[in-house]
Every structure is written in structure tokens, then in C-alpha cells.
Structure 1
Amino acid sequence: MSTRTLRLILGDQLNASHSWYQQQDDKVSYLIAELPQEVGYVKHHVQKVCAFFAAMREFTAALQAAGHDVIYLTLDETQHHATLAELIADLCSQHKVATFQYQLPDERRLRDQLSRLSLEGVAISAAETEHFLLPEAEFPRFIKAGQHNRMDSFYRKMRKRLDILMEEGKPKGGQWSFDADNREPLRKDDLANVPEPLCFANDVTDILARLERHGVCTFGKAQAQLLWPINRRQAKALLAHFCTVCLPNFGRFQDAMTDQSPLGWSLYHSRLSFALNSKMLHPGQVIAAALAAYEADDAINIAQIEGFVRQIIGWREYVRAVYWVNSEQYDAQNFLLAERSLPEWFWDGDTKMRCLSQAITQSLDYAYAHHIQRLMVVGNFALIAGLSPDEVEAWYLGIYIDAIEWVEQPNTRSMALFADGGWVATKPYAASGNYINKMSDHCQSCHYNVKERSAPNACPFMSLYWHFLAQNKATLGTNPRMAFPYRTWDKMADTAKTETLARAQAYLHSLNEL
């Protein structure tokens, strides 16, 4: 009678510290596989696919070096299996498996798929990923389904729970958030001091050839020498680089944008999200390293470390809880009834709007953009232009190297598009071009004039913002946080309103030409 166990490891489950690997067992085999279904459920950035496949390959080598038996299958071996379930059933039969085990996927799509798995004569069980700081069983204590849940309240509870930046039960520095101190744009003198990002040169030519051989449809700029970390050693090096080089100015410039420096794509950001979301790094490990740097380096003040801590134990854990508590309802959310298709330049960055051209071209070049580019440039435009949440979400899920549905769906559908009507944000994050002009230098060299609302060369953000408010007044007009912009709109002269709306309509009818 067979006693062999097969354990599945998904591409975002590369956690070397998992309890599975603490003991060697010659009756246990691990399965890591490049899957046709995973490269096809949305159109992915080519660097994203290469990074996950390369990281999976490196994790396989690490497990094998530690004495574990690993079955690694490339697309060459899995191409004839339409689904993961088919592949698992085939392998269980081939290897006479008695027990199949998997770690709970962090995407509802995959979790549903594996929960329906039925293997004749094979026992099936699921384990935790042992990665996140808040267990799923506790989500209902923190997040209520179908209603607004304040991230700030969640964050405070997590700070207390984990005893991070706390002194005698109170927040270190006398306040919970120093966000108001972290909103500086980059001045000319600041540009000369932007640090060189730590980049790697991981050879993925074989993966690129394999993707081409199997006709995998991707987009974005391919890199034969991938700059992203693909193993634990590189991920830890990137973490150390952030703590020593970037953290002293991280919070200060975390909202800034520039196209006046070739380093504008990276600035002071950690770029650790891929390593975290693939689980090469544990959030506790990241926080511990950042806190140690803060304690050792007087150049890192409380505003810098608090801003980073909030991203990891606040926002990251919060969106995961929101995702799972609302998971069955999320796909249907379209509160503002947005339905326009994405403009063609979402796929090539070829737009005269400097801020969007910069954010999208950067994303195509590096599979990366920082949170303000994602929210207040691309997301803001998608919101005020009324773009379809389904299309926008698929684009975000495909283009960013760190994009996995649990983190991308709440960030896109909730935060950027207000499609849930307020589960995350208390108001739409709609803004005119003034915000972008304040936080960037993009407007200085733009084809459009950020000072104009209705002129032929008016900034599209200016006219579309007011059009968005006018179109959604019945829905948003009673929101207390929208009172000020609606008062401003109501006081505007009728002629100015008419001309602004006419300019917006002209832009909406020619989105591809903007």
C-alpha cells in the first residue's frame, strides 16, 4: 500500500521557512509547475511571468539542495494539461500517491479550484501558508463584509497587537501616522541625490524562449537579464539596500513623481513587493530589518519608519482581509456604473498626457510603478473617465510584477475606482490635475495646460474631474467628504460649467487620441 505524499507549491508560495521543509522525508515529493492556466487567465507583463518562473526554478534548486524531492515541470511538460486539477490527477496516478497536500492559495480563483479537487483513493488536505501576520480566522474581528472599514483603525490594532513602534501602550512619537510629513515633491536639488536602485541580472533567456515557443501572449518590455530578485539571497540584499540607502528619505518622497531623472522609476521605494508577495520574504522579517535600521541610524526619523511600517502591517494586511471578507461579492461591484473601454495607449504609453505617459511607459519597461502613480495618475484617470472596472482590474493584475488578486482587487476596484461604493475609501480618490502638478514635474513639459479647464489644450484631468462630479452628483452629492468640491462646482458660473463639460465630452469621445 502506497504511503507517498505529493505537496503542491504555487508560484507565490516560495516560503523557505514553512514548516513543511523542516524535516526531510523520502516519501514526500514537492510539485512546482509552470502552468498554462496561470499564464492565460489575464494578459501578463512578460517580466512578471519570467520573474515568477525564475523564482520557482530557484526555489526548486534550494529545496533539492536541502535534500527534498522536487518535481519541477516547465510548460514543455504541462502544456497538455488544461488545468491544474488535470495535472495533479495525472501525477497522483503516475506516482501512486496516497496523500495530496497544498497550501491555501491567496487567490479565490485558485482556492475554489483546489477546494473542488477530487482524487479517487487519494486523501486531500490543506495547510496555511504561514506568511501573513493576521490569521484568516480573525478577519471578522477586524473587517465587516459589505461596509466601510477604516484602515486607520485596523492599523492601530495591528500596531498594538504586534507591539511595533509602541511605548507604554501609546504610539511612538505621540501620534499614529506621520503621513502629513511625507508629502514632499522632489525639488531640483533633490534630483541629484536620488540613489541608484539595486538591480540584478538574472538570465531568463530560456524562459523567454519557452514563452515564445508556447505562444504565451504577454506585453511589456522583455529583459533577457531580469533586474528583479528571484531568490531569498537577492531578496534579502534588496531589503538591506532599502534599509541603508532608501529608508532615510522613503517617507519624505514616497508620493513624489519625476521625469527629470533616469532614476525616477525607483526613487526611494523599497521595490520589495514582488519578494513579499511571492513569499521569498516574510513581512515580519522586513519589519524587523527596517526597525533595526531605524534604531541604528539617526538619519531615519520616525516619519520615515512609520510610513513604511504602515504599508506592511497596515495596508498590506488590511487589503488582504478586505479581499477575503468580501470575496464572493467583489467581481460584481460597479457602484458608479462605469463602462468605457481602456484607451489603446494603456498598452503602449503613447499619450500626450505626460503624467500618464510616464507612469504607463515606466510600467511597461519595469513591470512596476509606485503607489501614487498607480492610484493618483492611472487610477485617477480611470475613475474620472469612467473606465470599466473589469478592464481596469485585468490591466492592473497583468502589468505589475507584484500583482496577485488578493492585493490588486481591493487596491483597484475599491481604492482607485470606488466601484464598491465605500468598503475601503470614504470618498472617490478623484482629483484634478492640480494634485499631479503639486507632486510632480510632469506638467512642466506636458502638451496640455494644467491651468486650463475648457480651452482646446486644457489638461484632461481638469475637465474630466468636474465632469465626473457633475455626472455623479446624484450618487455622490450627499457624501460629506465631497461637500467642498460640490460647493465649488455649484458656485461656478453657468458658462464656465458648460464649457468645461463640453471639453470633457470632447475628450471622452476621443480617448484614444489624448
Structure 2
Amino acid sequence: MTEPRLRHLVLVLGDQLDLEASAFDGFDPAQDAVWMAEVAEESTHVWSSQPRIALFLAAMRHFALALERAGRPLHYRRLDAPDNRGSLAAELAAAIEALRPQALVMTAPGDWRVLQALRKVAAQAGLALDVREDRHFFCSVREFAAHARGRKQLRMEYFYREQRRRHGVLLDAQGEPLGGQWNFDAENRGAFDARGPGLLPEPLWEPPDALTQEVLALVAQRFAHHPGRLARFAWPVTRESALRALSRFIEERLPLFGQYQDAIWPGQPWLYHAQLSAALNLKLLTPREVVAAAEAAYHAGRVPLASAEGFIRQILGWREYVRGIYWTRMPDYLDLNALDAQAPLPAWYWSGETEMACLRDALVQTLDTGYAHHIQRLMLTGLYALLRGVAPREIHAWYLAVYVDAVEWVELPNTLGMSQYADGGLMASKPYIASGKYIQRMSPHCSGCRYRPELRHGESACPFTVQYWDFLIRHADQLGSNPRLAMQFRNAQRLDEAERQAIQRQAQALREADTATCTP
């Protein structure tokens, strides 16, 4: 007598570590099973950093234990298995052949490339692939598409207000925003004075357990040539540790998050930031519980409204907005290049070896921890790439590779749209451009740097400033009519011809000096 054929093989990816995911709806351990696979391709399709690889593998292996405790039959392929085939497609094809399921089930993934690969495997096997809505998010892709339909321009602020009303977040009894305004962004731009941030609360540090240490050793050996370092690895890799990290943030850092969320300080990677994006993107935390915790802290009088709103805006507004952009615009979004940027990414993005103090600090921190906060990403690493004219797909691949919280649905729109303006204004109404003077206002890096941010050209001129003015000269015809940039372009038009030429020559020299890229 033959054994009954497996009904559903439930596919779980490395960023879907949620026991309540839609893929498990109707799960019957008597006739269904779970499939997970660690494969090299997910660490090599971009040259992923060691901290990013380690986080995904450690979280996956801990989730496998949670599945076993929940009594869900599991077929798990480890990266270090001697016959590992190296790709999700190959491993799934082999699992289908061995297990002979009647159908495949999964929650919608966060990467277009992965979805297409798995659909192809299912089609070749003649199996139905049931891709279910991801309930993790406040807003479904269909709901976002409905929001976007018929609008000449998409703006996060309008989407965010809809979400606040729809979910009843930070509203008064009449359904209006608490404090009389939707957005406290103007109060969220504080910089530290010359004394710096002072004594900062320590982020949650939990020494890696035996399972995580096993992963760290594997990554150090298998991916030794990949960028990044593992000595400071302490990211939450279980739901329990992620919940502890959330609690610590709400109590200790959220009260001042709003005031200082845009501030930068040398040698201080965490400041008042949450460090919860990785846990959210792996689905160890839900955005609803994170938003609810911040809102409850405000109502309890422990957190000012500007801090609660500023943080909630990132979760309920921006995070949901970029996901909607990604899934309603792919796959064409990946190839957008509105500014025709073609320069290579400088090799020192992979090492931090640059004389620019602000970039060196951000890049070394990124390689050490797999993390940088949003202003470091937008107005340091992203701004330099934008001013230089780096090809969007190159800087996209770098962001996807180095940051532990990078999953393509969130990383790609933030990079190509918000940071590089490659979508021509879909994500942001203007390119976020600035000279070295902005960095001087927001941090003390310039005081310890050999470059001077006020100089437009010359041996001591800050490369940010040189390339800022060059950007304005190069893109005057394309962007000069943008009302939000009018003053900056008028200032550029006042430059005399000799200074324009000096700026352009030096900007070109900077690009030529940085042409060597780093390849795996």
C-alpha cells in the first residue's frame, strides 16, 4: 500500500519568518509540510556582506526550531549540506521530485526575481503555486494600486494620511490628527550641539547563542572574500529577542528619536534609532505591534507626540508606500535611469578607504555592523552616488548587498527613487541634493576632515560640494524648471564661466580617479 501523497508543500523564504503567515492558513500537519532552503545564490546574486548573510541564515535556523516546536513537518536544506544545489529553483525542483506534493503554497515574497524563479519551477513541474496575500502589511498591493489609480502624482504624505484614518492611528475623537497636524517633520530635524549626543542608551546586546555562533563560523569560512565583518554581530534572530529590542527602543530611545532622527555623529551608529527594520523585514515583528507600542507610549505620556508621529510615519507611511511602488511598478522599475547616470560605483564603497571623514565613518560603520541610519544612507552614501552620477543599478546592488535589513521590495524604491531620482520623480518630488555645507550643519565630521565644505573647487574643496555644483550645471536643462530646486539652479547660473569650467574639470577628475570598481 502506497503512502498518501503530500497535499501542500508550504514554501517559506528567509524573509517570511512568521508562524501566522497566510501560507499556513489551513495547514494540516497530517498532510502538509514546510520547505525551507539556504542557498548560495541568495548571497551571491549581489555580493552580500557577511553580516547580512549571517542574519538571514541565523534567523532561518531559529525559525526552523520554532516550526518544529509548533509541530509542523519541515524539510530544511542547509547551506553546508554536501549536495546543496546552490539555488532556490534547483532545490525546490529536487524537493518536488522527492516529496511529490499535489500543490505548492506560499505567502507573496518580497523579491520579484525570486517569485519568477519559483513560478517557473512550479510550471515546469505542472503544479499549482498558490501565492497568498502577505497580511504582514497594513496595505495590500491591490489597495495601494487603488490609491494610485488616476493620480497624476503619487506622494507619500497623502497615502500616509489615508492610512492613519483607515487604521485609526494618532487620531482624536473626531477622526482628526492629534496635535492638529498630520506631520511633525519640521520638529524632526534637530542636530546635536558641539557637546554631541552625550550619554546614549545602549541598544539591546544579546550574545550570539550556539546556533548563531555556528552560522557565524560558517559565514566566516564560506564567504571569507565577501565584504563586512562579524565581530559585532548582535542582531535579533528570534521573535523573542526582537520583542525585547522593541521594548528597549520604546522605553529608552523613542522619546528623543523625533528630535534627533536626522542627526549624525562620528562613531555613533545607533544614536536614537530603533534598529528594528531588520526584524520587521524578516517578519519577526509585525508593523501593527510596533505602531501600537509607539502610540501607547505617547498616550501614556512617556513619549512626545513629534517622536511618536515621526516614528510611526516611517512604519505606517513610508514602509508601506515603498512596497506599493515596488509591486505596482516591477519589473520595469529596476531599469529606470531618468538622469542617465552611467558612472561606476567607487571601489572604496566596499572598503571605507576614503579621505572624506563623513563617508569613511558611514562606510566603516556599515561594514562593521551591516547598518546605517536613513540620513547616512540618503545624505551621505546615496547623495555622493547621486552627485557623481553612479549607474542606478550599481548603487542598488551595493545597498542590497551591505545592509542587513535590505530586501528588494523596500531597498529598490528607496535607492532608485528616493536616493537617486532614477524614476524621474515618482517617489520624490525632487532630487535630494546638497553640498558639503549640509553635512557640516548636521554633523561635526567636517572639522576633522581635510576637505573644506564651503569651497566649490580647488585642492581642499569638499568632493560633495564640487560635485553638487557640477550636478546643477549638468542637469540645468532637465531639472531647472523644478520649483523645489529653483533657488539652487539660480545660484548655479550666477557662476561665471571660468568657475563653471573649473568645477566641471575637477568633478570629472574625481570621477576618473574613482573609476576602478570592486568585483567579487
TM-score category, normalised to shorter length: over 0.9
Distance in 1, Cα, partners of 2:399 & 2:288: 27
Among 246, 251, 255, the residue aligned to 2:262: 255
Shift of 1:55: 0.5
Superposition pairs for residues 329-344 of structure 1, below 5 Å? 329-344=332-347
What is the letter of the counterpart of residue 33 of structure 2? S
Distance in 2, Cα, partners of 1:512 & 1:254: 34
CA 1:60–1:147 in structure 2 vs 1: closer, same or farther (change >3 Å)? farther
Contact 1:149 1:423 in 2 (8 A): yes
Shift of 1:337: 0.9
What do the CA deviations read for 1:400-433 (whole angstroms, capped 9, x no partner)?
A: 0000111111110111111111111111111101
Secondary structure at 1:29's aligned position in 2?
strand
What do the CA deviations read for 1:180-211 (whole angstroms, capped 9, x no partner)?
A: 01111112445223221212221434224434
CA 1:462–1:34 in structure 2 vs 1: closer, same or farther (change >3 Å)? same
Shift of 1:177: 0.6
Contact 1:33 1:73 in 2 (8 A): yes
Shift of 1:494: 3.3
Q: Does residue 284 of structure 2 align to residue 277 of structure 1?
A: no
Task: Give the corresponding residue for 1:219.
Answer: 227
What do the CA deviations read for 1:118-165 (whole angstroms, capped 9, x no partner)?
A: 254644322223211101121222225996411111111111111101
Secondary structure at 2:330's aligned position in 1?
coil
Superposition pairs for residues 32-71 of structure 1, below 5 Å? 32-71=36-75
Is there any run of 5+ residues in structure 2 with no aligned partner, and where?
A: none
Shift of 1:365: 0.6
Contact 1:294 1:301 in 2 (8 A): yes
Task: Give the corresponding residue for 2:100.
Answer: 96
Contact 1:98 1:121 in 2 (8 A): no
Q: Does residue 432 of structure 2 align to residue 429 of structure 1?
A: yes
Among 231, 242, 249, the residue aligned to 1:235: 242
Distance in 1, Cα, partners of 2:151 & 2:403: 27
Among 500, 507, 510, the residue aligned to 2:513: 510
Contact 1:143 1:325 in 2 (8 A): no
Q: Does residue 199 of structure 2 align to residue 193 of structure 1?
A: yes
Distance in 1, Cα, partners of 2:72 & 2:367: 37
Secondary structure at 1:419's aligned position in 2?
coil
Q: Does residue 155 of structure 2 align to residue 136 of structure 1?
A: no
Which deviates the most, 25-34 or 1-10?
1-10
How high is the sequence identity, in percent, across the aligned residues?
39
Task: Give the corresponding residue for 1:152.
Answer: 157
What is the letter of the counterpart of residue 186 of structure 2? A
Secondary structure at 2:131's aligned position in 1?
strand
Shift of 1:17: 2.4
CA 1:340–1:123 in structure 2 vs 1: closer, same or farther (change >3 Å)? closer
Secondary structure at 1:428's aligned position in 2?
coil
Contact 2:189 2:263 in 1 (8 A): yes
Aligned length: 508
What do the CA deviations read for 1:360-417 (whole angstroms, capped 9, x no partner)?
A: 1110010000000000111110001111111100000000000011111111011111
Contact 1:13 1:279 in 2 (8 A): yes
TM norm structure 2: 0.93
Among 167, 174, 180, the residue aligned to 2:180: 174
Distance in 1, Cα, partners of 2:466 & 2:26: 59
Task: Give the corresponding residue for 2:130.
Answer: 125
Secondary structure at 2:191's aligned position in 1?
coil
Is there any run of 5+ residues in structure 1 with no aligned partner, and where?
A: none
Task: Give the corresponding residue for 2:351.
Answer: 348
What is the letter of the counterpart of residue 356 of structure 1? L
Shift of 1:101: 1.5
Shift of 1:487: 1.0
Distance in 1, Cα, partners of 2:223 & 2:352: 24
TM norm structure 1: 0.94
Contact 1:39 1:216 in 2 (8 A): no
